[in-house]
Amino acid sequence: MATSQLTTCKTCSKEVAKQASICPYCGAKLRKSVWGKVLILLGVFLVMSVIYLFLALPIDIKSTISNGSSSTTTESIIGIKLPSYSLIVVIALALALFGLSIYFYKHNRE
């Protein structure tokens, strides 16, 4: 399936090349989509949030979680409850899913 190399001018509704910056028919400036850049930024934010989560957790918590030992709570080790870190990951995942939904919506419309 080949992607179309044409887009529609929002001013005069005629088809113009996607690479054009100005409509050859009416002279209107063609706006470029920024959704790809937004999606990339959301992906970077997601990756950085996951890295921050694992770097912020001390080794004691990681071993406690991996061993399944519930004798030591996360609050007693670092002074903060673990859900505060989990919230960062949940927000990052929600933003990434939002970005992906916009990306797929945009590409299914064309």
25-56: pLDDT as tens digits: 998 888 776 777 777 787 778 777 777 766 66
**Residue 69 clears pLDDT 60, i.e. is over it:** no
Q: How many domains does the chain have?
A: 2
Domain range holding 10?
1-32
Are 26 and 39 found together in one domain? no
Are 39 and 54 found together in one domain? yes
Is the overall model pTM greater than 0.85, yes or no? no
Give CA–CA dist 94/54, Å, rounded.
Answer: 19
Are 5 and 41 found together in one domain? no
pLDDT at 14: 92
**Residue 20 clears pLDDT 80, i.e. is over it:** yes
Alpha carbon 11 to its chain centroid, in Å, reads 31
